[in-house]
Structure formats: structure tokens, C-alpha cells
Amino acid sequence: MEDIATDYLDLIRNRKFAAVAEDLRGRPAPVVADIIESLPTEEAGLAFRLLDKTTSLEVFEEFDGGMQADLLSALGAESTADAFRSLDPEEQAWLLDEVPAKVAKQLVRYWKEDERAPIRELLGYPRESVGRRMAAQIIRTRPDEKIGALLHRISQLDADNDKIAEIPVLTADRKLIGTVALAKLLYADPQDTVSTVMDSHPDFFYTTDNVEMAARQALLSGDLVYPVVDREERLVGIWPLADAAWIDIYEAEEDHARAGASEPLTRPYLLTPVKEIAHSRIVWLLVLGISATLTVKVMGFFESTLDQNVALALFVPLLIGIGGNTGSQAATTVTRALAVGDIEGKDIGRVAFKEIRAGLLVGCLLAIIASLVAWPLYGSGIALVIGLTLVFNCPIAATVGGCIPLIARACKVDPAVFSTPFISTFCDASGLVVYFSIAITVLSL
Amino acid sequence: MEDIATDYLDLIRNRKFAAVAEDLRGRPAPVVADIIESLPTEEAGLAFRLLDKTTSLEVFEEFDGGMQADLLSALGAESTADAFRSLDPEEQAWLLDEVPAKVAKQLVRYWKEDERAPIRELLGYPRESVGRRMAAQIIRTRPDEKIGALLHRISQLDADNDKIAEIPVLTADRKLIGTVALAKLLYADPQDTVSTVMDSHPDFFYTTDNVEMAARQALLSGDLVYPVVDREERLVGIWPLADAAWIDIYEAEEDHARAGASEPLTRPYLLTPVKEIAHSRIVWLLVLGISATLTVKVMGFFESTLDQNVALALFVPLLIGIGGNTGSQAATTVTRALAVGDIEGKDIGRVAFKEIRAGLLVGCLLAIIASLVAWPLYGSGIALVIGLTLVFNCPIAATVGGCIPLIARACKVDPAVFSTPFISTFCDASGLVVYFSIAITVLSL
């Protein structure tokens, strides 16, 4: 595949568009999609425009969400309006959230009122909610329906496998009371009613549930279709496992990149230009760099202490390294616990209490080891200063690292994004203050 | 749920076992599983032992993998042998990989030869391969089978929905030539053959494919069942999307925790004892701390330089912070690209070339900004030293950060684990050498 992509890349860069169009015409849509996805954004856009209309719609549906958003943004609304229109409403809603506002507006500009209705309904749910990502319900049943009758109705539908694998069972007033697996219907006697084979404790989601947490729960439970209900537990849509799966991957990629202080790349690494890679990193480096000037200030404040005992400078990288790592360990654990719903904002006291103790335990262990190592090499004074710094600094770093993600969540920003620069800056600066204060006291500087 | 768990916790800690057993008896298995999962390990083990035999088997199947492994390890083979025996072979194989070797041995000690066969077959595939995690095929078809006949065979099976949602289509000599969706069978004419509705370009996996990469691909494609084939493309098993989903989550949790330099917690955060949290972190802190002593050596080497110009010390935390961040950004991107299969070991040259350039670009930008800020405050000499350090150090850090995950992979260790301490140590130490060398040259110290 990579070699084919390189061939295409050469052809496109040499403006041999007729040859590209000719060659792409002979291939099935999934293959064309793979080829185009492995090209850099600009060339991908050019190749996509060379497809005839029918193929371009098929190929666009094959792309994953990130690629679709890329193409919409790169080609603009005119060249992609038809491809966009051919998607399911929940896919359209997701893309409208991802592309620049200008493009989003143009994409739906010429739609008739009734065309806008389904997407408007989805966009009425809050960002990052399950309601905004759900699919339309395709079939539902009642507990007293005969299985044979239900199977007959299904056979008239021609719906996708992944959307009818489990069918919601509703009361007369549309309240969800169960689900029934397609496989179960086949094994059962057609004369029995749905109620004999339904699961009456199905997992389901509310439209207002957070989509990232819900996707994770869905993947852990592994049901094939989740009913989505409103506050009154009336069915309003469904969420297939397959949709939850790619949303989970997309959110995880974002979290992962941001935990590493960069923005996620939208293309395969080797095909991403150096400029784009640098771009995805420079903002974070600047933010981290600017906040790190605080450490210059703190060091400057203790310059005279350093002047009296320059050996103190030797341990600065070591000590702030341990502090920073302790803080980011705590932040990692707490961010994950927040993401999976194990803790919420109101638990901040319990988190702080746990982190103070965990930090103290870790700090004391490290202090004993570090002092024993430092004593013969640098004398008892320095050994004591290093030990005490660790005892005090580890609980501070752990507590700060544990609480900042909760504060970020309370301020409605993504904890994975917001936390990194603050934790590293704060842990570095507080670590230095603790270190020099202890040094001044212990060594009477 | 949490309140119920707290009540149980109190009862168990007060040794009121009869009351716990009595109360659990009245609840359905999924609820009992939720309650036990939200207890700390020791109490969870006690509660699990209070269940009667039938319930305990049902409850054990409800637990997720991490919890099952916890219980097997905590309770030992005797109390859990029956629960273990009731699982599917692919679940047993996974658990045998996760629990301590001693427990694993005891779990299968008294099995008869024919009981061991399926699990032995799975364990014959390499660790972390799809073969080791696949499920047994339940039903297959041939292209010339009548749809009505196939539906009749399915109706005799009583298999799980998630394992028959797509059915492999094989040639007479068991080669995979397609899959057919259960839903498609229902819409079709029973007199037609399978070949009329089958997908003849299905996604599938080889038994030797890496399970983490395969799980990700499965989640992105979203097919409900993946055929697993041997080297000759003969069907040997299936991999339901639901299984791929929890494996992906489990692997992602592990990567995420390790990128944050700690081991993943197996229980909900608030229920994990402080001792366990400290335990999950201390090893990494020690490794990082010991490798950070290299920075003390480097600083010691330049002590006389520092003595002559103590102001140089002020910028040490800032500069090593930027270096470390540049390195970890590169490592994050490359680790992810490795995990999703965008790059492999042989690409190390291309990765290094890309990272040198990205690092240089970022370094030059930061150098310009930093020099302009530092000049009026600390004079032209220091400003030049800081600028040059960034120009040289960012490409070094980015290249090291980008290459170490590839080296880790080549040494067959998890890049997410191995990379963190080496990158931070190397970037810190090399950054200091660059900084002081430039300072000595520029300031003629």
C-alpha cells in the first residue's frame, strides 16, 4: 500500500492528473480510500477531486472521521457538499463540530428546512454528549409482539447489521424496558412473544451522558447496540458499539497526544510534513517555556544562597525531576480516574488527602535512599537537605498533580490539556523554594 | 452504587459475614459483580467467597479481566478453580498470562488432557498475538449454501449475538473467501445462496498479528466479527468486536499509565489503598531518580564554571524543562505511530531525519523569542548562550525522544515503559553539557 501511495504521490506532484484519475477509476472504493488516506493532506485533496461523483461519495464514506474533517477543511464546502450530504446525520453532526466554523456554515447553507431537521436535533444536545453522537432508531418492538412478526418486520428493513444487532423493547408510551438480541430471535419459537427472550436489564445511556465516558463503558460491556433515552427513559436513538469504538479511539488519541504536550497529528507520522509536526508542538513548548520563566525568578531570588554554596546547584535538576515526575504520576492517575468516572469534582478533598499520604510515603522512602547515597559523597549537611526536600516536596507535588486535573474539569477545560504546563511549572517552582529554604535553615546560610 | 459498596465495606470490616451473604443472595449477578468490583481487593475477595457456588460462577463471568486476574491472584487457585473453569478458553488464556506463574500453574493442574487442549492451542501462539486471544469459530458457511439452510442451522445453535453477527464464508478447503452479515441473511430470499449476499473483501486478521494493533484496526473498521486465519488463509477462529474493544481499553490503560511513569491501578482510584498507589509509583521514581544522578555528575563536572558565573544556574531548570518536553513530545508521537503501525523499526533513519528538522525548527523559533526576552534582563552574553543552547538542544532532544521508542521496540520491550526514564535522563544530561559548553565558549569562562 505504501508503495502504491508513493507512486501516486509522484504522479500528483508531477501534475499527471489524467493518469491518476484513470488508475483510480479501476479500483474498488475501500482501496481508493486507503490510497488517498495515505497521501499528505494537499495531495489527498487533489486526488479526491479527481474521482467521479458516485465514487467520491462511496470513498468519502470509507474515510475515518479525522480524514473526513481534514478534507472538508482543505477542499472547502463547495467540492465536498455532496459527499457531506450522503453521510448519516450523526456523522454530519460530528463533522460540523470538527471543521472550522466557516466551513460548517457553508456545508448546510443551501439545505431545505426538512433536511436540516435531523441534524439540528442532534446539534441541540450539548457538545461531547451521547445525544449529539447517537444514530436514529431503526426498529423497535413491544414485549407482547410475536417473535415471528418481529422477524418479518426486520426482513423488510435492509438496515445495517451493526444497528439492528440488538433491538430496543418499549412500553406503549415509549419507555425502554429491555432489549432483544437478533441472535436470540433466531433461536426462539416464532410463536413466542418478545418478552420471553428479552434482556430486561439492558445497559443504556442518557442523551446527556458524557460521550467519552459512555464510549469507554460501552467498550467494556461489549453490547452491540446501546439504547439512548431521554430524562423520562423514553427511547430517542441508538448508539452502535462500532460508533462508540471509533469515538473512543479518537478521544484516546487526543488525550494521549495532549498528555505528551502536543496536539494529535491527523495524518500518518511519516507523511506529516516537518512544518506540521513542529506546529503541533511549538504552542505547548511556548506555554511551558513561558511558565518555566517562573523557575528563573525563583532561582534568581536564591542567587545569593547559591553564591555561598554553589554545590547546591548540582542537585537542582535531580530534585525538580523527581518533583515533576511525582506530580505527573498523580495527574496521570487522577485524569484517568476522572475520564472513567471513578471520581468527580466533589471528591477533591478525598483526592488531596490520598495524594498527600501517597506522596509522603514515596517521599520518605526516596529520602532515606537519597540521604544514604549522598552522605558519604557530599557530607551530612547536604544529605539532610536532600532528604528533607524529598520528604516535603513529594507530598506537595503529588497533591498539586492530583488536584489540578479536578480544577481543570471544574473550569470546563480538558484536564489532559490544561494540567501539563501548570503541574510542571508549579512543581518545579515549589520544589526550588522548598529546597533552598531547607538549605538556608539546615546549613545556616 | 457507591453508597451500597460503603455499607458492604463496613459490614465486612466488622466481620458481619452472615449479613453480607444474606443480602448478596437476593441480588442479580450483574449487581453483585458491580458491588464486589467497587470493594478494595481484600474485601472483594472475602465477599466473593461468601457467594454460593452457582452465583459465584455467574458473578465471576461478569467481572472485567483486570478484576478476574486480581481475584485469582488474591484468593489463589483453590477458591477460584471452578470459576476459572467456567470461562471461555480465550478468557482463560488471557488470565493465565496475567496472574502470577504459580497461580497459573495450579489453576490447570488437575485438568484432564482433553480439557487442556483448547487452552494449550491458544497458548501455543506468541504472547500479544491475535491467535492467543481469539475465540473458537461457532458457525461457518460455504458460498453455495442456501440462505434458508444456513438460517436453519443458526437457529439450532443458541450462540451469543456478538459471535455470530458475521459468519465466515469458506471454500471447500477452509480458505476464507468472505463473510456474511446476519442482518443480510434476514433480508434475503431464503432460496438464494450465501454468495449473493456475502462481503467478498472482509477485514480479517492473521493469528500472528500483534493484538494491540489489531484491536485498534478492528475498532476503527467497526465490523462486528473478524475472521482469524493462519498463514495459508484458512479459518482458525474468530475475534468479536466486543473482545477487541476490551483488549484495546486494557492496553490503552497500560500505555497511558506507563507514559505517566506509573503502573496501571487495577481498582477504582478512591478505593485503592495509599500503599498500593505509592507502590505503583515508587519503582518508576527510583529508576528515574537513579538515572537522574547522572545530572548531578554533569553539574559537578561544570562546578567551577558555575562558581565563576553563578547566574548560569538560574536557567538550568528552564532549559532542561524545554529539552525534556521536546524529547517527550517526540517520544509520544513516535510511540503512538509505532502502536498504530504507521512506522516500524527499519524507519529509524527517516524518523531521526524528521525529528532533527522538526527539533531544529522549534529550537530556532524558541531561541529567537528567548534571546529577545533575556537580552534586556541579563545582557547579550547570557541571551546568546540561551539562544544557542535551544538551537542545539531541541534537535538533539527531539531525535533522542523519537529514536528511543524504536530502539525499545527493537529490544522487544514496551516503548511506552522503557522510554520515559531514558529520554528524561538523556535530555537533561545532554542539555546541561550543551549549555555549559556553549557558556564556556561564548562567555570565555
Of A116-120, A432-436, B107-111, the range with the highest mean pLDDT is A432-436
Measured between alpha carbons, how far apart are the two ends of chain B, in Å? Answer: 67
A426 compared with B227, residue with greater pLDDT: B227
Quick check: A308 contacting B, CB < 8 Å?
A: no
* Torsion, Cα of B168, B174, B175, B177 (10° steps): -30
> Contact A322/B285, CB-based, under 8 Å?
yes
> Would you state the pLDDT for residue A393?
95
Identify which of A166, A245, A365 has the shortest CB distance to residue B219: A245
> Contact A361/B241, CB-based, under 8 Å?
no
Residue B64, φ and ψ in degrees, nearest 5: -80, 170
A423 compared with A255, residue with greater pLDDT: A423
Mutate which of B182, B198, B241 to disrupt the A interface (most A C-beta within 10 Å)? B241
User: What string of DSSP letters covers B302-340?
Assistant: THHHHHH-GGGGGGHHHHHHHHHHHHHHHHHHHHHHHHT
Mean pLDDT, range B132-140, rounded to an integer: 88
Distance from the A31 Cα atom to the nearest Cα atom in chain B, whole angstroms:
10
Mean per-residue pLDDT of chain B: 86
> Would you state the pLDDT for residue B398?
95
> Contact B288/A325, CB-based, under 8 Å?
yes
Which residues of chain B neighbour A307 with C-beta distances below 8 Å? 310
Name every residue whose Cβ is closer than 8 Å to that of residue A48 and which is 6 or more positions away in sequence.
A36, A56, A59, A60, A71, A75
DSSP letter for B225, please: E
Sign of CA dihedral A361, A362, A363, A369: positive
> Would you state the pLDDT for residue B442?
93
A291 compared with A358, residue with greater pLDDT: A358
With contact defined as beta carbons under 8 Å apart, do A392 and B281 qualify? no
pLDDT at A3 over 70: no
Q: Is A185 helix (H, G, I), strand (E, B) or coil?
A: helix
Q: Is residue A124 packed enough to be buried (19+ CB in 10 Å), middle (13-18) or exposed (0-12)?
A: exposed
Would you place residue A418 in the very low, low, confident or very high pLDDT band (cuts 50, 70, 90)? low
Identify which of A154, A181, A255 has the shortest CB distance to residue B186: A154
Q: Please list the alpha-helical segments (H only) found in B14-139.
A: 17-25, 29-37, 41-49, 53-62, 65-85, 89-98, 101-107, 113-123
Q: Please name the residue that has the C-alpha cell 460491556.
A: A221
> Would you state the pLDDT for residue B179?
95
- Here the cell at position A208 is 446527556
Mean pLDDT, range B90-103, rounded to an integer: 80
With contact defined as beta carbons under 8 Å apart, do A35 and A8 qualify? yes
Identify which of B219, B222, B318 has the shortest CB distance to residue A292: B318
> Would you state the pLDDT for residue B224?
92
> Contact B249/A220, CB-based, under 8 Å?
yes
With contact defined as beta carbons under 8 Å apart, do A154 and B186 qualify? yes
Residue of chain A minimizing CA distance to B309: A307
With contact defined as beta carbons under 8 Å apart, do B189 and B109 qualify? no
Question: Per DSSP, what are the bridge partners of residue B129?
Answer: B210
With contact defined as beta carbons under 8 Å apart, do B432 and B299 qualify? yes
Interface of B with A in 92-131 (CB under 8 A): none
Interface of B with A in 360-389 (CB under 8 A): 361-362, 365-366, 369-370, 373
Quick check: A164 contacting B, CB < 8 Å?
A: yes
> Would you state the pLDDT for residue A348?
92
pLDDT at A1 over 60: no
Quick check: A134 contacting B, CB < 8 Å?
A: no
Q: Please name the residue that has the C-alpha cell 547522572.
A: B294
Spatial separation of the C-alpha atoms in residues A307 and A285, rounded to whole Å: 30
Mean pLDDT, range B147-154, rounded to an integer: 92
Sign of CA dihedral A339, A345, A348, A354: negative
> Would you state the pLDDT for residue A260?
66
Mean pLDDT, range B345-372, rounded to an integer: 93
Percent residues over pLDDT 90 in chain A: 36
Residue of B338, B321, B324, B317 lying closest to B398 (CA atoms): B324
Spatial separation of the C-alpha atoms in residues A189 and A197, rounded to whole Å: 10
Identify which of A303, A342, A358 has the shortest CB distance to residue B268: A342
- Here the cell at position B314 is 538560574
Give the pLDDT confidence of A311-357 residue by residue, as tens digits.
Answer: 999 999 999 889 988 998 898 888 878 877 788 888 899 999 999 99
Residue of chain B minimizing CA distance to A301: B314
ipTM above 0.90, yes or no: no
> Would you state the pLDDT for residue A197?
92
Sign of CA dihedral A409, A411, A413, A418: negative
pLDDT at B13 over 90: no
Quick check: B273 contacting A, CB < 8 Å?
A: no
Cβ-based contacts under 8 A for chains A and B: 346
A355 compared with B423, residue with greater pLDDT: A355
Sign of CA dihedral A329, A335, A339, A343: positive
A236 compared with B82, residue with greater pLDDT: A236
Which residues of chain A neighbour B161 with C-beta distances below 8 Å? 165-166, 181-184, 224
Identify which of A155, A245, A351 has the shortest CB distance to residue B186: A155
With contact defined as beta carbons under 8 Å apart, do B212 and B132 qualify? no
Q: Please name the residue that has the C-alpha cell 539532610.
A: A384
Would you place residue B417 in the very low, low, confident or very high pLDDT band (cuts 50, 70, 90)? low
Would you place residue B412 in the very low, low, confident or very high pLDDT band (cuts 50, 70, 90)? confident
> Contact A249/B248, CB-based, under 8 Å?
yes
Q: Is A302 helix (H, G, I), strand (E, B) or coil?
A: coil
Identify which of A155, A165, A256 has the shortest CB distance to residue B332: A256
Q: Is A239 helix (H, G, I), strand (E, B) or coil?
A: strand
pLDDT at A415 over 80: no
> Contact B296/A284, CB-based, under 8 Å?
no
Where are the strands (E) in A63-135, listed by range? none
pLDDT at A2 over 60: no
A39 compared with B130, residue with greater pLDDT: B130
Q: Which helix (H) or strand (E) holds A180?
A: strand A176-181
> Would you state the pLDDT for residue A259?
67
Would you place residue B314 in the very low, low, confident or very high pLDDT band (cuts 50, 70, 90)? very high
Of A155-169, B61-75, B332-346, the range with the highest mean pLDDT is A155-169
Quick check: A410 contacting B, CB < 8 Å?
A: no
> Would you state the pLDDT for residue A198?
93
Would you place residue B24 in the very low, low, confident or very high pLDDT band (cuts 50, 70, 90)? confident
Give the pLDDT confidence of A237-256 residue by residue, as tens digits.
Answer: 999 998 898 888 887 777 77
Give the pLDDT confidence of B219-240 residue by residue, as tens digits.
Answer: 888 889 999 999 999 999 999 9
> Contact A285/B322, CB-based, under 8 Å?
yes
Residue of chain B minimizing CA distance to A311: B303
* Cα A426 → chain centroid: 25
> Would you state the pLDDT for residue A280?
83
Spatial separation of the C-alpha atoms in residues B383 and B306, rounded to whole Å: 17
Number of residues written out for chain B:
445
Would you place residue B266 in the very low, low, confident or very high pLDDT band (cuts 50, 70, 90)? low
Percent residues over pLDDT 70 in chain B: 97
Which residues of chain B neighbour A157 with C-beta distances below 8 Å? 187
> Would you state the pLDDT for residue A100?
77
In the chain, the amino acid numbered B1 is: M
Identify which of B256, B261, B370 has the shortest CB distance to residue A256: B256
Quick check: A52 contacting B, CB < 8 Å?
A: no
pLDDT at A15 over 70: yes
Quick check: B196 contacting A, CB < 8 Å?
A: no
Quick check: A29 contacting B, CB < 8 Å?
A: no
Residue B254, φ and ψ in degrees, nearest 5: -65, -50
Would you place residue A169 in the very low, low, confident or very high pLDDT band (cuts 50, 70, 90)? very high
> Would you state the pLDDT for residue A38?
80
